[in-house]
Structure 1
Amino acid sequence: MLVLAAGLVAWDLVVRLNDLPPYVLPGPGLVFRTLVADHGILMNSLLTTLWTTFEGFVAAAIGGIALALLFNQSRWLEISLLPYAIVLQVTPVIAIAPLLLIYLPQQTAVIVCAWIVAFFPVLSNTTLGLNSVDRNLAGLFQLYGASRLQTLRYLKLPAALPHILGGLRIAGGLSLIGAVVAEIAAGSAGAGSGLAYRIAESGYRLNIPRMFAALLLLSAAGIVIYMLLALLSHLLLRRWHESALRKDT
């Protein structure tokens, strides 16, 4: 909090001492007043962006975990499909978004962009967790004649849970990034416009205080998403996993 306060004071001093106009760099006080004055427009846009983020995140979580489970059960399936998942990950979403907007409805294309960005961390972390099971425990399950489904349910999934939750924490922030990039590419106006459009609109109109206010809301949304997923991870792991037990002691 002290560092934040010092940063705000330094920001305000730079603006005042250099007499910078608001269209160059607004002061923190003006940004806060703009956030209050334009809260109706900005909050509606924030809700639109958050809903897109949520849909992309849920799709990435379900798709990534389900595909990782299939990879774990079939080595050939992993060899066949993983390279294409990697290609999807390393291709910039800003380059894919215009194509998706041609072939898909606008809202669907925006959700797909959020899914593309968030999908791979869930897939890779879940796959890593499922493949990192202790060999001795796996041998014990095999010795007692456990089926593949029983081994997956009682050994591999619990062992992979910390990795899955780590992937979800990463995917939460990335889905927000994907939603913002897709909204910028879509560039649609109207009541359903997200925060990314408001930022672009503010830049075109040189309404820099509103741009800063929208950026502040996006940053706050990303922090809240990460904290909620971190809390979920802590609640699920606090009684048995070392990473959570260390925090409690």
Structure 2
Amino acid sequence: MLTPALKQPQTLPRWSRSLLSADVLAPVIVGLLILTSWELAVRLTHTPAYLLPGPILILQTLARDWPQLLPSWWVTMKIAFTALVCATVSGLFVSILFSQSKWIERSFFPYAVLLQTTPIVAVAPLIIIWLKNNTFAALVVCAWIVAFFPIVSNTVLGLNSTDPSLVNLFKLNRANRWQTLRYLRLPAGLPYFLAGLRISGGLALIGAVVAEFVAGTGGTQSGLAYQILMAGYNLQIPRMFAALVLITISGIGIFVALSALSHALLKDWHASAVRHEN
């Protein structure tokens, strides 16, 4: 007698499995608990909105003031994105230059460190004065200063961490500098570069907001920092928190997008992007 064929267990689609994974569920649950506790604490203690608004009021304010906040959000994101692109291109170029000459690296790397250690709040007014005819360019330069160093530092480390045995193998096969860079050093340094890029993504957004605070630009070219300043001056604290929520969500979105890019480029060959079953 023939036995009936066993039914194969139905598997969930890939997108639903990713949404139900611990990497997504764990932070979502923690976030909901924090927001719930925040809302309950505000309501039970009768904290006035001008001191600390609850999450529900912040979301209501965000929905109400969205037409005014959206243009400011777009201005801030344009500054951050432009600065990130400039930092990526210039950082990668400088890193390759450093990796090709130890003399150049020893001579100029301290000045890259100098950009990182200089408080952007202190130099932003000077940059804005120097580029007074182009406020957007001044804000981009300020954000670029903040985002530049992590890319240089991580990429130089990656390019210099190439396996010496593989470098010697390329030399034995008479590979020139360009071939060694293209086929060995750049692939070896790619994970380090992407790690620096994820850091610089958030720093570019921070640099853009700080530069906007210093510049204090208004009108149609005002960013979210200006909206925060004006809301604070007028004691519109829920609106100030709504602008902060937009900045936070944008930062998370930048990090998630760059993490997805990193995973897409490394998933087939690098250990950091390969999932291992416990």
> Which category of TM-score, normalised to the shorter sequence, fits these structures?
over 0.9
The normalised TM-score by structure 1 is 0.97
Pairwise CA RMSD = 1.2
How far 1:41 sits from its partner (Å)? 1.1
Q: Which amino acid aligns with 2:75?
A: T
Among 160, 184, 190, the residue aligned to 1:155: 184
State the Cα deviation string for residues 4-36 of structure 1 (Å, max 9, x = none): 222222212222122222111112111111000
Q: State the match for 1:40 in structure 2.
A: 67
Q: CA 1:34–1:107 in 2, change beyond 3 Å: closer, same or farther?
A: same
Counterparts of 2:244 and 2:222, CA distance in 1:
15
Deviations 1:168-207 (A, max 9, x none): 0111000000000000000011111111111111101100
Q: 1:17 to 1:95 in 2, by over 3 A?
A: same
- Please tell me whether residue 103 in structure 1 is matched to residue 134 in structure 2: no
Runs of at least 4 residues off by over 4 Å: none
- SS where residue 25 of structure 1 aligns? coil
The match for 1:21 is 48
For 1:134-145, list aligned pairs within 5 A: 134-145=163-174
Asked which structure has the greater RCO (Cα within 8 Å, sep 6+), the reply is 1
- C-alpha distance in structure 2 between counterparts of 1:184 and 1:141, whole Å: 51
5+ unaligned residues in a row in structure 2: which ranges? 1-27
Q: C-alpha displacement at 1:108, in angstroms?
A: 1.0
State the distance in 2 between where 1:247 and 1:217 align: 35
Residues 35-90 of structure 1 deviation map (CA, whole Å, 9 limit, x = unaligned):
00000111111111111000000000000000011111111111111111111110
Match of 2:256 in 1: 227
The alpha-carbon distance between structure 1 residues 163 and 220, as it changes in their structure 2 partners (threshold 3 A), is same
Distance 1:149 1:28 in 2: 55
Shift of residue 209 of structure 1? 0.3
Q: Which residue of 2 aligns with 1:196?
A: 225
Check 1:164–1:30 CA distance in 2 against 1; reply closer, same or farther (3 A cut). same
**Equivalence for 1:146:** 175
SS of corresponding position for 1:191: helix
Match of 1:186 in 2: 215
1:128 corresponds to 2:168:
no
The Cα of 1:248 is off from its aligned counterpart by 8.0
> Which amino acid counterpart does residue 188 of structure 2 have in structure 1?
A
AA aligned opposite 2:239: R
1:212 equivalent in structure 2: 241
2:58 maps to which residue?
31
Give me the whole-angstrom Cα distance separating, in 2, the residues matched to 1:10 and 1:38: 25
Partner of 1:62: 89
Q: Say if 1:174 and 1:247 are closer, same or farther in 2 by CA, change over 3 A.
A: farther
| Aligned CA distance change for structure 1 residues 248 and 176 (closer, same or farther; 3 Å) | farther
Matched, 1:73 2:100: yes
Q: How far apart, CA to CA, are the structure 1 residues paired with 2:114 and 2:162?
A: 27
In structure 1, runs of 5+ residues without a counterpart are none
Q: Distance in 2 between matches of 1:164 and 1:27?
A: 40
Q: Deviations over 1:122-158 (max 9, x none)?
A: 0011100110000110000001100001000010001
Determine which structure has more spread, i.e. the larger CA radius of gyration.
2
Q: Deviations over 1:84-104 (max 9, x none)?
A: 111111011111101101101
Normalised by the length of structure 2, the TM-score is 0.87
Q: Secondary structure at the match of 1:239?
A: coil
Secondary structure of 2:205's aligned partner: helix
Q: 2:269 maps to what in 1?
A: 240
Shift of 1:247: 5.3
